[in-house]
Amino acid sequence: MLKKKLEGMLCCLLLLSLLLNGCGNAAQDSAPADGSAADSAGEAAAVTEEETEPAPETLASGLPETDLDGFVLTLLRSRSYFIEQGVYTEELTGDPVPDAIYERNLLLEETYNCDIELLPSESQHPSTDVAQYVMSGDDTVDVLLDGGQFIANSSKNYHNLKELSYFDFEKPWWNQEFNDGITIGGKLYFTLGAYMTTARQNIYHVLFNKNIATDHGIDPQELYGLVRDGKWTLDEMIAYAKVVKTDLNGDGVYDTNDRWGLIGENYVTWTMALGAGFRCAEKDDKDIPVITFGSEQNVNILEKVMELAGNRETTIFAQRMTGVDDVWSTLSKMRTTSGCWLFSIGSLGGGMREMEDDYGVLPSPKYDETQSRYYHDASLGNSPTTGVPISASDPDTVAFLLEAMSYYSYYNVLPIFYDNYLNTKLARDEESVEMLQLIHDSIYYDLGALYNWGDMRMIIENMANDTTSTLASQYASKSKVMQKMMDRTLKDMGLAD
């Protein structure tokens, strides 16, 4: 009886995914929707052939019918830090997104005769727990949710996902561009699946305060137009940021109580550099990284980024704040305080729902108009990704269930997540929904920044504070260390002697 009920639920959810309109469909990340709807009597509305778009195809999962005989899939994530919400919900809450996650897991359990359990970790980064499980031979943990940087730098503790059965990374419920970007020698140690909602929330991009923009003669539609025309560049953002700085309390001191062109943290220096085409490392035709950190292109990009990130007249970052007890809580408060910034770079977290001023969403700017596309990443250390520890008792069964979870999430969870959370509760206009689609369709992780060989990424971040350093001088002093650390990574992966 329960199984029939669940099958009916699945049919309803699949139908709903086809009816949802404007769900922020990223090419790799979300399910399609055709925008059709039934009338109040439940009968199809009469429309002309020209008004009707073909219904999107629901792809088959490619997975066989399987009885897993009570297999328990144990998911390890942090209890309190950077929690990937998309993998588990304890109970029905009445909130559409958590309920869709709960129902998806229930469907998996009934369909494949398995259990899905959550193991909360007290660690900020539970990859440290995995190291202990692997060392002791404990097979408790099947799946880790943690920042990609921490899995990447302990790759010996994780399976190469491409060697496991059942994963089909060519399917749209996996982020293929992301996976292709982070492989080394064809090896993939972590991934992003359609079941990961927090990872989508954590993508860094630009927010702008519409009230402040309008008060200073900046038309929000003009900003959106620049993006659509491929002309949203660092020069444009720098010019706009310069016009809004104001001593709000009139004390003659510019601090966290005043208005700034840009607020954020040192990591923003890196995200802007990445968005403008900076590359710490690129890959050769054998999928092996080659250090490009000190290139002339990177020098030019960083000089332009520093005109904004390093400018004390327009920009305040958390690491430069003084006279406050906690810079991070202060930054969080500033982000949701009306009137204190034109631009803020970070993720579109739930805290923005408290913002009284109206705001819009923009991508990270290009270096110049010749740049072919926009680029974005999430926090390399804090934004969750998925790894399978080598200590997992049955890695192929784990891969089977992750494939199934990603498949059902693509059709049953992501449309609801985009429509009921990201697009409705956080984005405040149709243009921002459009921008979010572009942003989610342009995620890119730089290998050098991910592995942080020789502090590659940290060098860029720290330049926001130390404006006397140059990329050329930093590379000259650390190039040998960078190469040595990269070679060590390749050796650990069995790709070098």
Region 18-29 average pLDDT: 34
User: What pLDDT shows up at residue 308?
Assistant: 95
Those residues whose C-beta lies under 8 Å from the C-beta of residue 220, and which sit 6 or more positions away, are: 208, 210, 213, 214, 360, 431
Are the C-beta atoms of residues 411 and 14 closer than 8 Å to each other? yes
What is the rounded average pLDDT for all residues in the chain?
86
**Among 353, 295, 327, residue whose Cα is nearest residue 471:** 295
pLDDT tens track for 157-176: 999 999 999 999 999 999 88
More confident residue, 214 or 468: 214
The b-or-e profile of 170-181 (16+ CB within 10 A means b, else e) is ebbbbbbbbbeb
pLDDT tens track for 195-212: 998 888 888 999 999 999
pLDDT tens track for 367-413: 999 999 999 988 888 889 999 999 999 999 999 999 999 999 999 99
User: What pLDDT shows up at residue 248?
Assistant: 87
Residue type, 122: E
Q: Residue 424's CB: how many other CB atoms inside 10 A?
A: 13
Relative orientation angle of helices 2-19 and 395-412, to the nearest 10 degrees: 50
pTM above 0.75, yes or no: yes
Q: For the chain, what percent of residues have pLDDT higher than 70? A: 87
pLDDT at 49 over 50: no
Region 463-481 average pLDDT: 90
Helix (H, G, I), strand (E, B) or coil at 146: strand
3-state helix, strand, coil in the chain (%, to 5): 45, 15, 40
DSSP string for 5-34:
HHHHHHHHHHHHHHH-------TTTS----
User: What pLDDT shows up at residue 56?
Assistant: 52
Region 444-470 average pLDDT: 91
CA distance 16 to 175: 23
pLDDT at 19 over 70: no
- Report residue 346: phi and psi, to 5°: 175, -160
Put the strands of the sheet holding 384-387 in their side by side order. Answer: 114-121, 71-78, 143-147, 384-387
pLDDT at 94 over 60: yes
Put the strands of the sheet holding 341-346 in their side by side order. Answer: 315-317, 260-264, 341-346, 205-209, 359-362
User: What pLDDT shows up at residue 40?
Assistant: 34
pLDDT at 28 over 70: no
User: What pLDDT shows up at residue 198?
Assistant: 87
Those residues whose C-beta lies under 8 Å from the C-beta of residue 346, and which sit 6 or more positions away, are: 204, 207, 264, 265, 268, 335
CA distance 127 to 140: 14
Q: Residue 396's CB: how many other CB atoms inside 10 A?
A: 14
pLDDT tens track for 212-228: 999 999 999 999 999 99
CA distance 370 to 416: 36
Place of tokens 């969870």: 413
User: What pLDDT shows up at residue 282?
Assistant: 96
In this structure, of 12-16, 77-81, 309-313, the range with the lowest mean pLDDT score is 12-16
User: What pLDDT shows up at residue 255?
Assistant: 87
pLDDT tens track for 239-267: 999 999 898 888 888 888 899 999 999 99
User: What pLDDT shows up at residue 428?
Assistant: 73
